[in-house]
Amino acid sequence: MRSIVLTAICALMAMVAQSQVVTLDSCRNMALRNNKEIKQATLAIDKAGYQRKEAAAAYLPQFDFTAGYIYNSRKVSLIKEDQMLPTKSFNLQTGAYDYNLVIDPRTGAPLQLENGQYVPSTVALLPKSGLTYNIHNLMGGALTVTQPIYMGGKITAMNQITDLAQQLAREMRQSKVEDVIYNVDAAYWQVVSLCAKQKLARSYVSLVEKLDNDVKLMVSEGVATRANQLAVDVKLNEANVDLTKVDNGVTLSRMLLAQLCGLPVNTMMTLADEGRDDLDLTLAPSSYNLDEVFDKRHDVRSLELATRIYDQQVKVARSEMMPKLAAVAALHATNPNSYDGFENRFGAAFSIGATLRVPLWHWGGLSNKVKAAQVDANVKRLELDDAKEKIALQISQAAFSYQEAFKTFEATKANLTQADENLRIAGIAFNEGMGTIDEVLAAQTAWLKANSEKIDAEINVQMTHEYLNKVMGNMNY
C-alpha cells in the first residue's frame, strides 16, 4: 500500500512538473540548449580553433625522430680478393719516392715482364678479410629539427585563413541560433493562437447550444418550426466539429513546440501568453540604415569573412611561386658505426644546414593556379554584392508586411466591435420576437469570424514584427 501511495505521489509530481507555466524566453533557452544543429555549430567552432592552433604551430621549429632496421643476408666486402700493392722508398738523390722494383742482374735495370709491367721487390698486403664488414643487422636513427625561415607567405596566409574560419564558424552558429529562435517563436505563438481559437470555439459552441435550447422550447410551444431547429442543430454540429479540429490543432502545436524545445513530444506545457485576451500591440518604427543592417546581419558578415578567406587563398596559391628557405639540423646515429670502421656499435654525428627551393618553370601551372584562386575570390565578392541587394529587398518587403499586418489588426478590432454589437442586437431582437433564427445564426457566425480574424491578425503582427527584426539583425535573445 505504501509503495502504491509513493508511486501516485511521484506521478502527481511529474504531472505538475510537466504542466508548469513557461514563458517565451524559457522556450528559447530550452531550444538553444537542446538543439542538435547548434551543438554541431559549436563543435565546428571548436574544430576551427584547433585548426588555428595547428596553423600557428607552423611558425615554430619542427622536431622529428626517425629510426629504421634492416637485416641483410650477406656481408659486404670492398674488394674481390686479397690485394698486393707495390711499395715506394725515399730516394735521397732525387728527393722523391721511387717504387721498390726487382733489378735485372744482367742489365742492372728494373726487371720488366713481357707485357711491359715491372716486378715490385716488396708489396703491401691488403687482405680481403680486413675490408669485409658485418652488416647483417643494420640500424639507424636521426633526430631532425626544421625551422621554416621563408615559405613564400604561405604560413602567414594560412594563419589568417584559420583565424577568419573561426570567426566564420561563430557567425554561422549565430545564424543557426536566430533560425532556431524564430522557429520557436513561430511555434509558441501558434500555440497561443490556437488556444485563443479553442477558447473562442468553446464560446461559440455555448452560444449555439443556448440558441438550440431556446429553439427547442419554441418548437415545443409551437412558435418555431422543425426546420428552424434542424438549422440550429446543423450549426451546433459544425461548431462541435470545428472545436474538435481546434483541440487537435492545439495538441499537435504543443507537441511541435516541445520537440523544438528538445523535450518529449508528450510534455504538457502551459504557456504564459495563452490565456491573454489581448497582446497590447503597438506599431514599432521600422526605419533602418542598410549599412548598419549589413553590419548586424550574421549571414552578410559570414560572406564577408568568406571573401577574405578566398583572398588569403590567393596568397597561398601565389606562395607556390615563391622561394622557400628553411634551416635544418640533425643528430643521426648508425649501427654498424659508419664513422669508425663499421664496428658493430652505434656511432653518432651532428649536422646543420639549410634548404632552398626556387620554382623555375612549371609550364604555367602555378600561375594558372593563382588565377583560378582569384576567380574564386571574385565570385565570392559577387555573391556578397548579390546578397546585399536581396537583403535590401527583403527588408523592404518585411517592413511593408509588418505595416500591412498592423493595419489589418486595427481593422479586425473595429470589425470585432461591430460584430459584438450586431450579435447583441440580434439577440435582443430574437428575444423580443422581432428577429429570426437565421439572423441570430448569421450574427453568431459573423461574431466567430471577426474574433478568429482578430486572433490571426494579432499573431500575424507578432510574427511579421519578429521577422522584421530578424532580417534587420535586431533579434533580442
Predicted pLDDT of residue 311: 96
380 C-beta neighbours (distance < 10 Å), count: 19
Predicted pLDDT of residue 282: 72
Q: What is the C-alpha separation between 313 and 374, in angstroms, rounded? A: 8
In 19-117, alpha helices (H): 24-34, 36-56
Mean pLDDT by 10 residues, the chain (477 residues): 41 46 93 94 96 95 93 85 85 84 80 80 83 84 94 94 96 95 95 93 92 88 84 92 95 94 90 78 76 92 96 95 94 84 83 94 93 96 96 94 94 93 90 84 92 93 93 86
Is residue 347 a contact partner of residue 338, using CB atoms and an 8 Å limit? yes
pTM of the model: 0.80
Q: What is the C-alpha separation between 39 and 183, in angstroms, rounded? A: 17
Q: What is the C-alpha separation between 112 and 102, in angstroms, rounded? A: 9
Q: What is the C-alpha separation between 132 and 81, in angstroms, rounded? A: 10
Residue 268 neighbours by CB under 8 Å, 6+ apart: 15, 18, 19, 254
Predicted pLDDT of residue 14: 40
Render 188-217 in DSSP notation, one character per residue: HHHHHHHHHHHHHHHHHHHHHHHHHHHHHH
Is residue 72 a contact partner of residue 136, using CB atoms and an 8 Å limit? yes
Q: What is the DSSP letter of 153?
A: T
CA dihedral 397, 399, 405, 406 (to 10 degrees): -160
